[in-house]
Amino acid sequence: MKINLYKAYTIKLLFKACVFVLFFILSSFSPTAQTDSTSTPTSGKTRINILGASVIERNPEISDASRLIGDVKLAFDDAILTCDSAYRFNDGRFEVFSQVVISQEPSTKLRADYGVLDPDIGSVYIKGDVTFNHEALNISCPSLTYNLDTKLVSYYERATIIEGDRYLSSNLGVYSSTTNRLYAGGNVEILELKDVIQSDSLSIDRNSKSLRLYKSSYLEINGAIIKCEKGVFNGKTGIGWFSGGASMMDDQGLLSGDSIIVNRDKNEGMAWGHVMISDSSRTMNVKGSFASRTENYDLVTGLSDNLVQIVNIEGSDTLKMNTLRLERREEMLYASGEVVFKQGVFSGSGDSLSWDRSINEMWLLGKPVVWSEEDEMTGDTVKMNLKENRPTSMQLMGNANVLSPANDSLDHVISGRDLFAHFSKGKLSSVDVIGNGRAHYYSIDDLDDISLNRATCSQIKMLFSKGKVTRITLLGLPDGNFNPLDDVGNEDIQARRIKPQL
SS3 string, 255-311, reads EEEEEEEEECCCCEEEEEEEEEEEECCCCEEEEEEEEEEECCEEEEECECCECEEEE
pTM beyond cutoff 0.85:
no
Q: How many whole angstroms separate alpha carbon 323 and alpha carbon 352?
A: 9
Asked whether the beta carbons of 456 and 464 are under 8 A apart, the reply is no
What is the pLDDT at residue 27? Answer: 34
Asked whether the beta carbons of 468 and 405 are under 8 A apart, the reply is yes
Say which DSSP state 485 is in.
G
What class is the 208-306 domain?
mainly beta
What is the pLDDT at residue 414? Answer: 86
What is the pLDDT at residue 124? Answer: 94
Over the chain (502 residues), what is each successive 10-residue block's mean pLDDT?
A: 35 37 34 36 66 86 82 91 93 93 92 94 94 95 94 96 95 95 96 94 94 96 93 93 95 93 90 92 90 91 91 85 93 92 89 92 92 88 90 91 83 88 86 86 70 83 81 76 53 64 72
What is the pLDDT at residue 25? Answer: 33
Question: Which residue intervals of the chain bear CATH 2.60.450.10?
Answer: 1-205, 208-306, 333-502
The H or E element spanning position 409 is none
What is the pLDDT at residue 443? Answer: 76
Cis peptide upstream of residue 106 (ω within 30 degrees of 0) = yes
Q: Give per-residue burial for 369-404: e unless 16+ CB within 10 Å, then b.
A: bbbbbebbbbbebbbbebeebbbbebbbeeebbbbb
Q: At CB < 8 A and 24+ separation, what contacts does 163-169 make?
A: 163/136, 163/137, 163/138, 163/206, 164/136, 165/192, 165/193, 166/190, 166/191, 166/192, 167/191, 167/192, 168/204
Asked whether the beta carbons of 323 and 314 are under 8 A apart, the reply is no
What class is the 333-502 domain?
mainly beta
How far from 446 is each of 133, 270, 443, CA to CA, in Å?
Answer: 98, 62, 9
Q: Which of 262, 205, 270, 210 is nearest to 239 (CA)?
A: 262
The H or E element spanning position 464 is strand 449-465
Q: What are the residues facing 100 on neighbouring strands?
A: 112
| CATH code for the domain defined by 1-205 | 2.60.450.10
3-state secondary structure of 101: strand
Burial class of residue 317, CB neighbours in 10 A (0-12, 13-18, 19+): middle
Q: How many whole angstroms separate alpha carbon 471 and alpha carbon 456?
A: 16
What is the pLDDT at residue 210? Answer: 94
Furthest C-alpha separation in the chain: 160
Q: How far apart are the first and last CA of the chain?
A: 120
Q: How many whole angstroms separate alpha carbon 65 and alpha carbon 88?
A: 5
What is the pLDDT at residue 466? Answer: 75
